[in-house]
Amino acid sequence: MSAEAQTQPLWKPGRTLLEQSNLKKYMDWLFVKKGLYFRSYHDLWDWSVTDLEDFWESLWNYFNIKSHDLYLEVLQRPLTGFIGTRWFTRSKLNYAEHIFRNKTKDRPAIIFQAERSEPVEISWETLEAEVAAVSTWLKQRGVKPGDRVAAILPNIPEAVVAFLATNAVGAVWSSCSPDFGKPAITERFAQIEPKVLFTVDGYVYNGKTYDITTFAGELSAALPSVADTVLITNIFSETRPDRFTAWDDILHFENFGIDFEPVAFDHPIWILYSSGTTAKPKAITHSVGGCLIEHMKALALHQNVKPGDRYFWYSTTGWMMWNYALSSLLCGATLVMYDGAPAYPSSQVLWTLAERAKITHFGSGAAFFIASMKSGVSITSERLNHLETIGSTGSPLPPEAFEWIYKQVKKDVWLISLSGGTDVCSAFVGGCPLLPVYAGEIQSRMLGARIEAFDENGKPVLNELGEMVITQPMPSMPIYFWNDEDDEKYVSSYFEMYPHVWRHGDWIKITDRKSVIIYGRSDATLNRGGVRIGTAEIYRAVESIPEVKDSLAVYLEKSNGEGTISLFIVLAKDKELTEDLKKQIKDTLRTQYSPRHVPDTIEQVGDIPYTINGKKMEAPMKRILMGQDPAKCINIDTMRNPESLKAFI
């Protein structure tokens, strides 16, 4: 990264954004309606995390959230802590109903492309008719508010239809990507006892076809609670179990439109799952109202999504970004979906989609942008005239990737790096249309998210590496974990280190300009002589070396309080780990960062272990290398590449 990039912004908002963004309009509204004037975004943020009731109530009014009953209290807090916090008590609403407030004949609801097809448009009229049919069928099959509906579906429009229908009747949605293994899906869905299961006959990925009809039948039989299994024909397989209901038959179900079921603000909307790298995945349950108001805030104010925009985020149905992207429909945007591999038949495929579908907001995991940068994809920015924002999440986006986007993709695009998680189905830190973008930095802490960096004494620090904590509740925090008696798992997940303060598990630095830098997971953070080092710094330096394709750094503690840093690297084709290359790696780390960053050992491996959602499995590898039983450290069904474990066990 150039020295200039550290002091000079890569992007600044233009006059139009400064004066006409949704965030600016919201600030103007606060002045007119509430008499509140804020000189800067940071002043607005201070108010949003200090006066919680007024802030969240202002969003309720600004977004004109429809409730079928008046709320009594904006915020009802427990005697201590976060768990049990209640928002907008007595209100009754429906998430899907808010989405269909935006139906129009002027633009499609969804644009969809699969690996083997051309983009197709799905009108709001078609979406409404299909949701009406499926929701009517669900009711006739006895699905009631609170019942669970599970899905093994790829990122196809039918998944959106099934979710909206489920939500319309007040049931609870939960989905897994079909590339999950049967044990992984079974242990997730067995916890929540779904009444209905939606599945496909198969899916296509990376040019290969995978038939899962037999697997779906076995799963259905393994879940005694499932009364109906619905099969969506996706790859035109010839076999269909007799006990399955055909999706096409449901679409012809007679209905009289969508009957939206109002539910309480804290009624469950969906169940997401922790990665399950160690114990059984935790079933994280979110509320209808919490996700509704949070997603409106996050997408409209922090990403400036407007009616008529086209919103895309590359995801599977097993990642919370699927739910997050779907909420762009709340803002009146057209949802752009892609099902398939991000680099098949070439690394250009998603960039070509951005051009052809005239995408306004283009998002993916950081790994995608790093891969695009390394593969040298050819992008003609003139063809991306409609592109206003690029979003990145999943892992820290290195400064080099920031600079590559501005040099090779589009010089005037607003790059939004954001970070949050399945835990809140949103982001804690992310974009701001009023602030500049600096290489390697996330622009801001998001409104209503009181993020601090705590030192080892539990005190907030500025411009120092610290533990990321959230010190005030947010509506989209989990209402509970499914089947978690006395909230034991909930407490152990977030509140053990600091009483009544949410510890998220990331190392961060809040800079003097109030931007945020994330250094990696705190439970995998390296410690050299008391100095904490984020793994992202190691990867940034090591993976800049052409011979290095991928890497994993692990800190192994010793009983005497000391420890060693072990670096595992994957090399480019036909390359070998020579002493000269080891020296180059060490010299690069020493030069770019410090002697403390230099690993004690460097080993070549065939592959780095990743979760299905594309995250390096740092903490499980650390536990295995410390001598723990691999079977207790990791569930291979949650892995993208389980064969990579051989080098570590």
CATH of the domain at 111: 3.40.50.980
Domain check: are 215 and 346 in the same one? no
Residue 364, pLDDT > 80, answer: yes
Gap between the Cα atoms of 276 and 191, Å rounded: 13
Residue 5, pLDDT > 50, answer: no
Of 26-40, 43-57, 58-72, 525-539, the range with the lowest mean pLDDT is: 525-539
Q: Strands 389-393 and 414-417, how do they pair?
A: parallel
Q: How many domains does the chain have?
A: 3
The confidence score (pLDDT) of residue 182 equals 80
- Whether 493 is in a domain gets the answer no
**% residues pLDDT > 90 (the chain):** 75
Residue 4, pLDDT > 60, answer: no
| Structure-token match 């296509």, residue found | 204
Gap between the Cα atoms of 120 and 498, Å rounded: 50
- Whether 380 is in a domain gets the answer yes
Helix (H, G, I), strand (E, B) or coil at 270: strand
Domain check: are 59 and 113 in the same one? no
Domain check: are 573 and 503 in the same one? no
Domain CATH number, residue 619: 3.30.300.30
How large is the angle between the packed helices 157-168 and 124-140, nearest 10 degrees? 50
For 77-113, b/e burial (b = at least 16 CB within 10 A) is eeeebbbebbbbeebbbbbbbbbbebeeeebbbbbbb
- Whether 492 is in a domain gets the answer no
Residue 534, pLDDT > 80, answer: no
Residue 430, pLDDT > 70, answer: yes
Residue 551, pLDDT > 90, answer: yes
Residue 471, pLDDT > 80, answer: yes
Domain CATH number, residue 364: 3.40.50.12780
What pTM value is reported for the model?
A: 0.88
- Whether 349 is in a domain gets the answer yes
Residue that is last in its domain, among 486, 521, 556: 521
Among 616, 556, 546, CA closest to 585: 546
Domain check: are 224 and 312 in the same one? no
Residue 1, pLDDT > 50, answer: no
Q: Which residues does residue 75 pair with via DSSP β-bridges, in sequence order? A: 87
Domain check: are 42 and 120 in the same one? no
Domain check: are 332 and 467 in the same one? yes
Among 442, 198, 219, 424, CA closest to 320: 424
Q: pLDDT tier at 562 (50, 70, 90 boundaries)?
A: low
Beta strands in 147-193 (DSSP E): 148-152, 172-176
Domain check: are 462 and 318 in the same one? yes
Among 356, 168, 368, CA closest to 257: 168
- Whether 607 is in a domain gets the answer yes
- Whether 114 is in a domain gets the answer yes
Residue 278, pLDDT > 70, answer: no
- Whether 97 is in a domain gets the answer no
The confidence score (pLDDT) of residue 3 equals 36
Domain check: are 300 and 324 in the same one? yes
Of 43-47, 251-255, 328-332, 420-424, the range with the lowest mean pLDDT is: 251-255
Choice between 329 and 275, residue whose per-residue pLDDT is larger: 329
Domain check: are 72 and 221 in the same one? no
Domain extent, residue 361, equals 15-91+288-476+498-521
Residue 561, pLDDT > 60, answer: no
Domain check: are 63 and 183 in the same one? no
Domain check: are 126 and 254 in the same one? yes
Residue 521, pLDDT > 90, answer: no
- Whether 486 is in a domain gets the answer no
**Residue 192 neighbours by CB under 8 Å, 6+ apart:** 148, 150, 172, 174, 271, 283, 482, 483
Domain check: are 570 and 601 in the same one? yes
**Residue 24 neighbours by CB under 8 Å, 6+ apart:** 18, 433, 434
